[in-house]
Amino acid sequence: MRVVTLRWEMPRDGSAGEVSCLALGGFAMVLEIGPNESYIENYASRRSWNSVVLSLFPSPRFLSGSRLHPRHSFGWSCSCPPRAVWLVLAALVCAGSVKTARAQEPPYFVTYSQVLEEPGNLEIAQKGLTGSPKDSNAFYSATLELEYGAKAWWTTELYLQGQATANDSTVFNGFRWENRFRVLPTEHAINPVLYLEYEDVNGADKSALEATGHDSIADFQGRNADGRGDISRTMEGKLILSSNAKGWNISENWIMEKNLMGGAWEFGYAIGASRPLALVGNGRNCTFCRQNWSAGAEIYGSLATVHDFGLHDTSHYVGPVVGFNLPNGPTLGFSPNFGLNSDSAGVLWRIKVSYEVQQFRDLFRGKGAQ
């Protein structure tokens, strides 16, 4: 048992400070007595002189001299009278473990933010797109996503895609392998992330995960039999710029894509802004509380090619986004996308269901130790 010093920062509002931590085994208990407003103002219920703020964080080896991001903290804390500290401390020691809380990511469907997957965690998601564009059959495109946090600065993801079209057929479209690399290890006013993806998909793909080149409503109107034999192998890069300010996340993506089998460089963009409906929890164990919801909007579209860069013969969409984090369960997302010109589909409906497996890599490490 020892005392370490924790330097903390709240990226949402820029507040910072130091607290003393009582390190016990693999945990560190933050003990802070008195009304330190720069810290407590973020927690409405913690304003009493006669209170002790307790929070549980990871191993003291991580804490000592480090900058704490809320995403790294465990999901339990309380405000209680000093005489109750030792009862809480004893209860935690007896419990032996605490389940980590998932960070609330921006609810975007096309735009990427600076948020990466936690190292060792695996997120399993199903992302769906449906619509009935003009002069075409209704369709449903499904994308299975397996996202793994390889490092704190590196997230890798595998996509498997397919779609079904009414009065046509069901077809497997191919796969994508995505990698995102965080350039700066800590939060800044603008946080850059580099994105690199290899795609092996056929021409019947209707997932519309982004828009580049001369993507248009015509991509939804072809027959599956005509497109499934048209294989496209491409490399896609993105420059992701993301900022957090006063609870808001604002992200901009510049997209570049090149068909490895020939063709010009194609370009696109995506911009999103969102925030949680409540920045501070109300302390109650509830499912539909405001802090479990986030909302915003995003706009995205294509910008032709290196030979004819611009808006001519390109498609563009805008729409609201809503996310709901079910406590101890999956995360749900929904967004209607409205076409902004005649080259776009009238409306596309997006849905997403994801579930995060905490410390997935430890499952295999445990088997190896046995």
Note the pLDDT tens digit of each residue in 53-71: 333 333 333 333 333 343 3
Q: Mean pLDDT check: name the lowest of 6-20, 194-208, 304-318.
A: 6-20
In angstroms, the CA 301 to CA 210 distance is: 7
Per-residue pLDDT tens digits for 77-120: 333 344 333 333 433 333 333 333 345 789 999 999 999 999 99
In this structure, the strands spanning 248-259 and 231-245 are antiparallel
Question: What pLDDT shows up at residue 169?
Answer: 95
Name the DSSP letter for residue 119: B
Contact 170, 140 (CB under 8 A): no
Delineate the domains of the chain, giving CATH numbers in brackets.
2-95 (no CATH), 122-363 (2.40.160.40)
Please list, in sequence order, all residues whose beta carbon lies within 8 angstroms of the beta carbon of residue 43, skipping any fewer than 6 positions away: 53, 79, 280
Burial class of residue 129, CB neighbours in 10 A (0-12, 13-18, 19+): buried
